[in-house]
């Protein structure tokens, strides 16, 4: 009995972990703005791993109605946090108006603010962080919404890019809970071309000798890989017309070099490489048909939410034609393309006409009886 108790004590200490974490101020409230952390307990993952004491970072705006009918969920995208959603998409001037709705922005697992490789203690952090899928994020968010807030219905789930992958997953996995859905700039099942695009972005980081198999001491150790990652994002994230029209000048940059260095590398260069890789692996494998044994049509027909599928017309990651093929399989859905030359990264909201279109579509969707 004494040996058994000693073993259990040792196991407990091991599971609590400690050390070998990276203190990255980029993910702090001072940079990202205030957020709360919810410990949702151990999260068993689809790939077989477990995140012990999984923490979800979230922020709320507005007041939850007494009947809890006004809740809107906003999941985050690749590299993004609650900060950009709050600054670009939410406010009195927007469809996501906290004076009318209770808006919950949840940072995805691996995004740097919620449980992620860089902030998970030994032995499960850094390169040992387990594989996470979109479905794991949604299961974790469901636990947060139902157990902490008692929310049983969502007036709307809306997100861009990986946030849209999560939106699709929510609508398929919990069809009776999601009343409206607005996936922006993503597909419900990732395409082969997109998978390969992400593979090159992954290799840009892992091929840097400073990456050291995921056991670096600082993002600066992987600066060459992060620089390549940023330049490749410039190629795929913005459209050819963005560059041919030199739209970067309208954003305050004097040249292409100025833009790629001080915006693209400035953006990605402070982020944690393992966190980016965790999200990239997840992005590559986004696929709601996992719920229905590989039948995408069957999965999308599960959706009961009024759905506006909102591709960006110049997006090279998720072309509108791919989005339209899926939209036609979703009952009670409409295709609502967004027009901008900013490509996939139109999501940043640098084009005011982009955010105006998003708001018009969301206003209409929220006004639609369900």
Which residue, 206, 264, 275, 208, is CA-closest to 236?
264
Going by pLDDT thresholds of 50, 70 and 90, the confidence category of residue 20 is confident
Alpha-carbon Rg of the chain, whole angstroms?
20
Q: Do 366 and 339 form a contact (C-beta atoms < 8 A)?
A: no
- For the chain, the domains span 2-190+293-367
**Which pLDDT does position 18 carry in this prediction?**
47
**Which pLDDT does position 245 carry in this prediction?**
98
Mean pLDDT to the nearest integer, 129-139: 98
The answer regarding whether domain 2-190+293-367 maps to CATH 3.20.20.210 reads no
Per-residue pLDDT reduced to its tens digit, 137-148: 999 999 999 999
Q: Do 233 and 202 form a contact (C-beta atoms < 8 A)?
A: no
**Which pLDDT does position 7 carry in this prediction?**
47
Mean pLDDT to the nearest integer, 343-357: 98
Going by pLDDT thresholds of 50, 70 and 90, the confidence category of residue 249 is very high
In this structure, of 2-16, 49-63, 179-193, 267-281, the range with the lowest mean pLDDT score is: 2-16
Helices (H) and strands (E) in the chain, counts: 15, 10
- Residue 344 Cα distances to 106, 118, 157, 296, 351, angstroms: 21, 27, 20, 24, 12
**Which pLDDT does position 2 carry in this prediction?**
55
Q: Does the structure show a pLDDT above 60 at 1? A: no
**Which pLDDT does position 5 carry in this prediction?**
53
Burial 186-198 (b: 16+ CB within 10 A, else e): bbbbbeeebeebb
Query: Residue 61 forms beta bridges with which residues?
Result: 103
Q: Does the structure show a pLDDT above 90 at 297? A: yes
CA distance 4 to 11: 10
Per-residue pLDDT reduced to its tens digit, 147-168: 999 999 999 999 999 999 999 9
CA distance 302 to 308: 15
Mean pLDDT to the nearest integer, 182-187: 98
Q: Does the structure show a pLDDT above 50 at 324? A: yes
Q: How high is the mean pLDDT of the chain? A: 95
DSSP 107: P
Positions marked catalytic = 161, 315, 344
Per-residue pLDDT reduced to its tens digit, 61-110: 999 999 999 999 999 999 999 999 999 999 999 999 999 999 999 999 99
**Which pLDDT does position 17 carry in this prediction?**
44
Strand 156-160 vs strand 71-75: parallel, antiparallel, or unpaired? parallel
**Which pLDDT does position 55 carry in this prediction?**
98
Residue, of 244 and 4, whose pLDDT is higher: 244
**Which pLDDT does position 10 carry in this prediction?**
46
């Amino acid at each position: 009995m004494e040996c058994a108790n000693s073993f259990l004590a040792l196991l407990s200490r091991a599971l609590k972990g400690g050390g070998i974490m990276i203190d990255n101020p980029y993910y702090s409230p001072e940079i990202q703005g205030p957020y709360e952390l919810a410990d949702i307990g151990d999260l068993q993952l689809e790939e077989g791993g477990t995140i012990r004491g999984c923490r979800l970072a979230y922020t709320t705006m507005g007041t939850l109605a007494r009947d809890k009918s006004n809740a809107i969920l906003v999941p985050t995208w690749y590299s993004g946090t609650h900060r950009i959603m709050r600054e670009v998409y939410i406010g009195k001037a927007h469809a996501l108006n906290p004076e009318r709705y209770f808006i919950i922005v949840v940072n995805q697992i691996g995004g740097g603010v919620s449980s992620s490789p860089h902030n998970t203690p030994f032995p499960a952090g850094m390169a040992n962080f387990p594989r996470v899928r979109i479905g794991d994020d949604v299961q974790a968010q469901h636990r947060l919404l139902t157990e902490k807030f008692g929310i049983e219905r969502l007036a709307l789930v809306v997100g861009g890019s990986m946030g849209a992958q999560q939106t699709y997953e929510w609508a398929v996995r919990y069809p009776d809970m999601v009343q409206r859905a607005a996936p922006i700039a993503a597909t419900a099942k990732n395409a082969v071309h997109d998978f390969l695009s992400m593979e090159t972005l992954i290799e840009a980081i892992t091929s840097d000798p400073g990456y050291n198999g995921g056991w670096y001491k600082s993002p600066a150790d992987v600066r060459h890989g992060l620089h390549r990652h940023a330049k490749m994002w410039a190629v795929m994230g913005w459209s050819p017309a963005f560059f041919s029209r030199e739209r970067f000048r309208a954003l305050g940059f004097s040249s292409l070099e100025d833009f790629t260095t001080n915006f693209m590398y400035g953006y990605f260069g402070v982020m944690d490489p393992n966190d980016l890789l965790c999200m990239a692996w997840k992005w590559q494998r986004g696929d709601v048909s996992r719920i229905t044994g590989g039948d995408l049509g069957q999965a999308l027909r599960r959706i009961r939410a009024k759905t506006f599928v909102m591709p960006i017309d110049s997006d090279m990651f998720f072309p509108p034609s791919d989005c339209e093929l899926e939209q036609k399989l979703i009952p009670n859905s409409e295709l609502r393309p967004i027009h901008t030359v900013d490509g996939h990264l139109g999501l940043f909201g640098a084009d005011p006409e982009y955010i105006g279109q998003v708001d018009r579509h969301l206003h209409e969707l929220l006004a639609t009886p369900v």
